[in-house]
Amino acid sequence: MVEELVIEEAEEDAEEEIEEQIEEEIEEEVKEEVKVVVEEIIEQPFDEIEDIIFAEPEPEPETVEVKEEVKIEESKTLSLEEELQDTISVDQMATLFDIPVAAPKSLNDKFSANIQIGLNDRIAFVKNLFDGSQEDFNRVVSQLNTYGTEKEALKFINKMVKPDYDWSTQQELEARFIEIVERKFA
Label residue 127 by pLDDT band (50, 70, 90): very high
| 86, 92, 97, 100 alpha-carbon torsion, rounded to 10° | 160
3-class SS of residue 23: helix
Over residues 79-125, the pLDDT tens digits come to 777 777 777 777 776 666 665 656 677 766 666 678 889 999 999 99
| Domain membership of residue 177 as a residue range | 107-185
Number of domains in the chain: 2
Residue scoring higher pLDDT (178 or 54): 178
- The model's pTM is 0.43
Which of 17, 34, 54 represents a domain boundary (last residue)?
54
Q: Which residues of 46-71 are buried (b: 16+ CB within 10 A; e: fewer)?
A: eeeeeeeeeeeeeeeeeeeeeeeeee
Residue % of the chain over a pLDDT of 70: 68
Residue 121 covered by a domain:
yes
User: In this structure, is residue 176 part of a structural domain?
Assistant: yes
CA–CA distance, 27 with 43 (Å, rounded to integer)? 24
